[in-house]
């Protein structure tokens, strides 16, 4: 029986993450004057959510624990964001008063900051290109979490609770910048994975750390090929 070849699902998952992150980060930076994130819902459900989740499951099938954990988790993250942002669909935001929602969303994002930092530590044994995704994504989550922790009032009211609160604009912008860097880092890693399959005339450097498994395997292979 011939061995069945399974394609590397990582570039697909990274592309789903990159595009959805790019879109939300552009809105957080108020690019082209767009400030309402409703357009993110479609990408978050379908591409960043479902497709990335499937890619994570396929990573599990090929035995990549890190890929399965990271891609599946961020697929779930984007589906969660889509549920929160769906206008009138799940009534998440309307179930809180304005300030309480900002603080609840802050807790949600702080949780993802902690998780992303854990993944960042794991990439220290991989490559510089892989590290760069989480090195920029972790501060993005931190800035966005803080933007909801320290919101500002957008409409006056006799009651602080009844007032309308919005995320801190400066911190949201900073989160958008870091998110944009993470999106392009993810696209770079995706492209590096695609061109490494031999279907193109070039490859992209990813900067494997000297202590990484890839570098160790290359050293072992070089010693085996060297004359005695």
Cα separations (Å) of 189 from 127, 151, 173, 206?
A: 10, 34, 24, 8
- 3 alpha carbon, distance to own chain's centre: 33
190 belongs to a structural domain: yes
148 belongs to a structural domain: yes
Cα separations (Å) of 106 from 148, 149, 180?
A: 5, 5, 20
Domain count for the chain: 1
Q: Which domain holds residue 40?
A: 10-225
Alpha helices in 10-165 (DSSP H): 10-28, 40-45, 52-61, 65-85, 98-122, 128-149
pLDDT tens column, 81-117: 999 999 888 999 999 999 999 999 999 999 999 999 9
pLDDT tens column, 20-67: 999 999 999 999 999 999 999 999 999 999 999 999 999 999 999 999
132 belongs to a structural domain: yes
1 belongs to a structural domain: no
5 belongs to a structural domain: no
User: Against a cut of 0.85, is the pTM above it?
Assistant: yes
Token pair recorded at residue 87: 């206008």
């Amino acid at each position: 029986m011939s061995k069945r070849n399974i394609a590397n699902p990582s570039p697909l998952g990274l592309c789903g993450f990159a595009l959805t992150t790019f879109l939300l980060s552009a809105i957080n930076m108020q690019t082209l004057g767009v400030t309402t994130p409703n357009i993110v819902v479609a990408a978050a459900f379908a591409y960043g959510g479902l497709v990335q989740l499937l890619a994570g499951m396929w990573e599990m099938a090929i035995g990549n624990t890190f890929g399965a954990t990271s891609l599946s988790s961020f697929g779930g993250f984007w589906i969660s964001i889509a549920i929160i942002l769906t206008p009138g669909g799940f009534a998440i935001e309307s179930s809180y008063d304005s300030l309480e929602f900002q603080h609840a969303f802050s807790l949600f994002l702080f949780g993802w900051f902690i998780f992303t930092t854990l993944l960042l530590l794991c990439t220290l044994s991989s490559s510089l290109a892989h590290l760069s995704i989480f090195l920029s994504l972790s501060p993005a989550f931190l800035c966005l979490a803080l933007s909801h922790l320290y919101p500002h009032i957008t409409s006056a009211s006799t009651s602080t609770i009844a007032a309308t609160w919005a995320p801190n604009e400066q911190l949201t912008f900073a989160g958008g910048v870091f998110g944009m860097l993470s999106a392009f880092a993810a696209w770079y890693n995706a492209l590096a994975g695609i061109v490494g399959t031999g279907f193109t005339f070039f490859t992209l450097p990813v900067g494997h750390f000297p202590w990484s498994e890839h570098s160790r395997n290359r050293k072992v292979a070089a010693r085996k090929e060297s004359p005695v």
